[in-house]
């Protein structure tokens, strides 16, 4: 789960990371009031969960409360990469002498958190990794020893910070790591961490991604979830315990297992079609689950055909077939359906579907199923 800049910065601040004074506004009038209270120039920052806000005109400097109001009005009406701006953060503007990058991610190969710093702040770290990888300094953190001061010193020195900043930088780094641990983050990032004209460090931007698997122990964070992070369908799927990702194609996919679901999307593309979604219905064959999944798929207006790809392992294909038929009682299919059931009791499963009276196109192999689904979506498959 992604957190907004203002949420991330507040959580970092609770662990001693200095952040600018500021507040969130949902209206232009609020923005003006906040700017008046802060006094002096402010930055009006759109709060949306995508990168590239600055380039899109979603981050602007205002010299006066009047200007803050005008800019907030403009930004609050914007869409950035398809996401509507519903909130703006009004921060006191800082005088930037130097911009650096500081972040923590999980290094999957080292199976530990790694802290990264770079003197090239304000640029996406992936960009720096591509163009100037040597500029990124890294330390791997042992979970039992924690982040040690010699490690933060190595980072500070490595990115060429002035000596008098070594200690304050160490404090910021420790605070960021503590916040990362405390909230079960998979990413915690300050970009940029600036040095202002008085030589103080300040986290002017912040980003945190929380591990969904750990949300059970962070109920306070779960409440912060932004509705725009996922589509309404994705939200409903998540609440129903289904793994669903919306795509922009025309063939709805219902598959058991995540790897097989990805492979099913891929083979549709391979045969010239385009998948409308990723969907893993998980183990078992409960009619209710299949019905919810089918309803979600059919709610997508782009969907012109649905492909069921089920591998019966422990779960038997005849049970899955019954589940599919029971789902049809609740959700009437409105587009052509192609079903491929393979594995345990596959023949019984196919017979149940064939005898049902529903217009299901059967396929034996995955390749055949994908080709039939592609043809069906084009209206080229005779029933």
Partner 1 sequence: MAILVDKNTRLLVQGITGREGEFHSRQMLAYGTQVVAGVTPGKGGQMACDGRVPVFDTVAEAVEETGANASIIYVPARFAADAILEAADAGLPLVVCITEGIPTLDMVRVRAYLDQRGTRLIGPNCPGLLSPGQAKVGIMPGHIAMPGPVGVVSRSGTLTYEVVYALTARGMGQTTCVGIGGDPIIGTTFVDVLEMFEDDPATEQVVLIGEIGGSDEERAAQFIAEKMTKPVVAFIAGRTAPPGKRMGHAGAIIQGGSGTAAEKIAAFEAVGVRVAEHPEQIAEIVAR
Enzyme catalytic residues: 101, 189
Return the closest-CA partner of residue 273 out of 248, 237, 290, 293. Answer: 248
Q: What is the DSSP string of 256-288?
A: SSHHHHHHHHHHHHHTT--BSEEEE--SS--HH
Binding residue count for partner 1, defined by CB under 8 A: 55
Binding flag, residue 111, partner 1 (CB under 8 A): yes
Among 19, 267, 337, 339, binds partner 1 (CB under 8 A): 267
Smallest separation (angstroms) from partner 1 to the CB of 6:
21
- CA distances to 23, 32, 53, 69, 88 from 27, in Å: 12, 9, 19, 8, 8
Select from 277, 276, 280, 265 the least CA-distant residue to 302.
276
The verdict on 262 binding partner 1 (CB under 8 A) reads yes
> What is the C-alpha to C-alpha distance for residues 145 and 176, in angstroms, rounded to an integer?
16
The least distance separating partner 1 from the CB of residue 100, rounded to whole angstroms, comes to: 19
Q: What gap in Å lies between CA 293 and CA 276, rounded to an integer? A: 13
How far is 263 from 369, CA to CA, in rounded Å?
A: 13
Tokens 């990413």 belong to which residue?
Answer: 187
Please report how close the Cβ of residue 111 comes to partner 1 at its closest, in angstroms. Answer: 5
Applying CB under 8 A, among 256, 323, 336, 374 the residue interacting with partner 1 is: 256
328, β-bridge pairs:
none
What is the C-alpha separation between 87 and 44, in angstroms, rounded?
10
Residues 178-237 within binding reach of partner 1 (CB under 8 A): 181, 184, 186, 211-214, 216-217
Residue number, 233 or 243, with CB nearest to partner 1: 243
Strands 243-246 vs 88-92: parallel, antiparallel or unpaired: unpaired
**Pairwise CA distance, residues 45 & 59, whole Å:** 4
Q: Least distance in Å: CB of 62 to partner 1?
A: 31
> What minimum distance in Å lies between the beta carbon of 341 and partner 1?
12
State the Cα–Cα distance between residues 86 and 83, nearest whole angstrom: 9
Least Å distance, CB 291 to partner 1, is 20
19, 71, 136, 261: residue in contact with partner 1 (rule CB under 8 A):
261
Indicate whether 158 belongs to the interface with partner 1 (CB under 8 A).
Answer: no
Smallest distance, partner 1 to C-beta of residue 175, A = 17
Among 19, 136, 268, 339, binds partner 1 (CB under 8 A): 268
Residues 282-321 that bind partner 1 (CB under 8 A): 311-314
Which structure tokens are listed for 306?
């649905």
Choices 18-26, 56-64, 338-346, 347-355 (CB under 8 A): range interacting with partner 1:
338-346
DSSP 207: E
Rounded Cα–Cα distance for residues 135 and 124 (Å)? 13
Residue 278 interacts with partner 1 (CB under 8 A)? Answer: yes
In angstroms, rounded to a whole number, what is the distance separating the alpha carbons of residues 233 and 210? 21
Choose the stretch contacting partner 1; rule: CB under 8 A; options: 34-42, 121-129, 167-175, 219-227. Answer: 121-129
Which residue, 26 or 140, has its beta carbon nearer to partner 1? 140
**Interacting residues with partner 1 between 349 and 378 (CB under 8 A):** 365-367, 370
Q: Which residues, in sequence order, are CB contacts of 178 under 8 Å at separation 6+?
A: 15, 16
Stretch that binds partner 1, among 159-167, 191-199, 275-283, 291-299 (CB under 8 A): 275-283
Whole-angstrom distance, CA of residue 327 vs CA of residue 332: 8
Q: Residue 142, interface with partner 1 (CB under 8 A)?
A: yes
Give the binding site for partner 1 (CB under 8 A).
106, 108-109, 111-113, 124-126, 129, 142-144, 181, 184, 186, 211-214, 216-217, 243, 245, 247, 255-263, 265-270, 274-275, 278, 280, 311-314, 342-344, 365-367, 370
């Amino acid at each position: 789960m992604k957190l907004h800049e203002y949420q991330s910065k507040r959580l970092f601040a609770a662990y001693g990371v200095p952040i600018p004074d500021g507040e969130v506004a949902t209206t232009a009038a609020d923005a003006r009031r906040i700017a008046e209270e802060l006094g002096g120039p402010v930055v009006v920052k759109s709060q949306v969960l995508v990168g590239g806000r600055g380039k899109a005109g979603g981050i602007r400097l205002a010299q006066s409360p009047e200007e803050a109001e005008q800019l907030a009005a403009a930004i609050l009406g914007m869409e950035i990469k398809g996401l509507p701006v519903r909130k703006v953060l009004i921060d006191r503007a800082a005088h930037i002498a130097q911009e650096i990058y500081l972040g923590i991610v999980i290094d999957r190969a080292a199976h530990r958190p790694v802290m990264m710093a770079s003197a090239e702040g304000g640029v996406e770290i992936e960009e720096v990794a591509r163009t100037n990888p040597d500029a990124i300094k890294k330390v791997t953190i042992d979970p039992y020893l924690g982040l040690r001061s010699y490690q933060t010193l190595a980072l500070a020195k490595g990115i060429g910070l002035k000596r008098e900043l070594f200690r304050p930088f160490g404090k910021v780094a420790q605070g960021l790591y503590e916040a990362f641990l405390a909230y079960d983050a998979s990413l915690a990032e300050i970009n940029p961490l600036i040095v202002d004209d008085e030589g103080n460090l300040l986290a002017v931007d912040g980003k945190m991604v929380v591990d969904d698997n750990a949300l059970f122990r962070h109920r306070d964070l779960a409440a912060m979830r932004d509705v725009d992070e996922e589509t309404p369908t994705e939200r409903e799927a998540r609440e129903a315990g289904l793994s669903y990702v919306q795509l922009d194609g025309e063939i709805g996919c219902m598959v058991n297992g995540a790897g097989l679901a990805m492979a099913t999307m891929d083979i549709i593309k391979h045969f010239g079609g385009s998948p409308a979604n990723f969907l893993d219905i998980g183990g078992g064959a409960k009619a209710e689950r299949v019905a919810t999944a089918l309803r979600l798929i059919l709610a997508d207006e782009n969907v012109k055909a649905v492909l069921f790809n089920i591998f019966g392992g422990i779960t038997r294909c005849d049970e899955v077939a019954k589940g599919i038929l029971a789902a049809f009682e609740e959700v009437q299919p409105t587009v052509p359906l192609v079903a491929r059931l393979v594995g345990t009791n596959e023949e019984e499963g196919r017979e149940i579907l064939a005898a049902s009276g529903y217009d299901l196109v059967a396929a034996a192999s995955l390749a055949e199923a994908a080709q039939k689904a592609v043809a069906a979506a084009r209206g080229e498959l005779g029933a």
